[in-house]
Amino acid sequence: MVTTSTVTELEGAETRAVQFRRIDLDAALPITADPASLLDDHPIRYLHQHQCAEIGLCVEGSGVFVVGEKVMEFSAGDVTFINSTEVHLARSMPGTVSRWHWIYFDPLRLTSVSPFEHSLLDPVPLGGPNFHNVIHAVESPHLGFISSRIVEELGANALGSATTLSALAAEFMVLLHRARPLEAAKSGRSASPQFERISPAIALIARNFAEPLSLEQLARACSMSEPTLRRAFTAAMGCSPREYWLDVRLQMSATMLRSTTMTVVEVSRAVGFSTLSSFNKLFLKRFGAAPRNWRRTN
């Protein structure tokens, strides 16, 4: 059984940015799963972090994953991987619920008794700004199969389960390193040193992306002056707070166009655009096609 507890909150109950959530792993077999979890469409009001690696298998539904500064869409069959250094949270598309299997494990401890290449089991390089945490089903279908096998094996409690789980976890990590070699090499072993400073602004944008957000609000959330936030944000993200906020809204709109039956007008309003013309113009600039045409080809 997965048990979690909030250890740290960076801000108060209404404006908290990041939580540390501990996952209880057995010392002898450091892997566990929540095999039947429902993810609703509630706005993302905080990001959290674990002390272990996390695999997610989306069984049904679609939505978006926020991992640090990244916003990625997911759909049924996709696999996610989050290491212990990245803050994250997900939500389903508006008006929907998605179904997940969550697996929590420590790959290095789990496979320590086997002669595996530990560099291929290390989860820390598999993260950071250049690492795409959502692995789509068509990209690496075997990762979804392995994730399902881990959930089955954890529920079976059969002869040789520890050995089987160790082998499955090792295979998952090796295949993940194969699927993401360039991203892992670019990411290095740690996220931007500025990210923790601006994480309250990231969380504020994540939960209120459709609302008008001023630089003053974002700076206040981080207890910084506006010029200091602008410099720190650009250093961590490679773009200004306004550019990041706009990109989050446009990525959310693309996910809604792909995954829902909402009209273009409804989508533009849902992500906070006051006029359809401004939405169409910015969407075209970001994705190279007007929203209606982009939906038709995606």
Domains in the chain with CATH codes? 6-187 (2.60.120.280), 195-297 (1.10.10.60)
Q: Which amino acid, one-letter code, is at 112?
A: S
CA distances from 172 to 55, 81, 210, 264 (A): 10, 10, 37, 39
Instruction: Report the pLDDT value the prediction gives residue 254, as an integer from 0 to 100.
Output: 84
Instruction: Report the pLDDT value the prediction gives residue 259, as an integer from 0 to 100.
Output: 74
Instruction: Report the pLDDT value the prediction gives residue 217, as an integer from 0 to 100.
Output: 93
pTM: 0.64
Instruction: Report the pLDDT value the prediction gives residue 44, as an integer from 0 to 100.
Output: 79
Region of residue 45 (left: phi > 0; alpha: psi -120 to 50; beta: else): alpha
CA distances from 216 to 195, 223, 296 (A): 18, 10, 39
**What's the CA gap between 136 and 240, in Å, rounded?**
29
HSE value, Cβ hemisphere, 13 Å, CA-based, for 138: 2
* Stretches in the chain below the pLDDT threshold 70: 1-17, 111-118, 181-195
**Range list of β-strands (E), the chain:** 6-9, 18-21, 31-39, 47-49, 53-60, 62-67, 70-75, 79-82, 88-92, 98-105, 134-135
CA distances from 182 to 11, 35, 177, 186 (A): 35, 31, 9, 6
Of 234, 210, 208, nearest to 221 (Cα)? Answer: 208
Q: Which amino acid, one-letter code, is at 162?
A: A
Instruction: Report the pLDDT value the prediction gives residue 193, as an integer from 0 to 100.
Output: 58
Beta pairing, strands 53-60 & 70-75: unpaired
All residues at 6 or more sequence positions from 226 whose CB lies less than 8 Å from its CB, including other chains: 215, 216, 219
Instruction: Report the pLDDT value the prediction gives residue 17, as an integer from 0 to 100.
Output: 60
pLDDT tens-place string over residues 244-290: 889 888 888 887 887 778 899 999 998 999 999 999 999 999 889 99
Instruction: Report the pLDDT value the prediction gives residue 35, as an integer from 0 to 100.
Output: 87
Q: How far is CA 173 from the centre of its chain?
A: 18
**Residue 287: both structure tokens together:** 């994705």
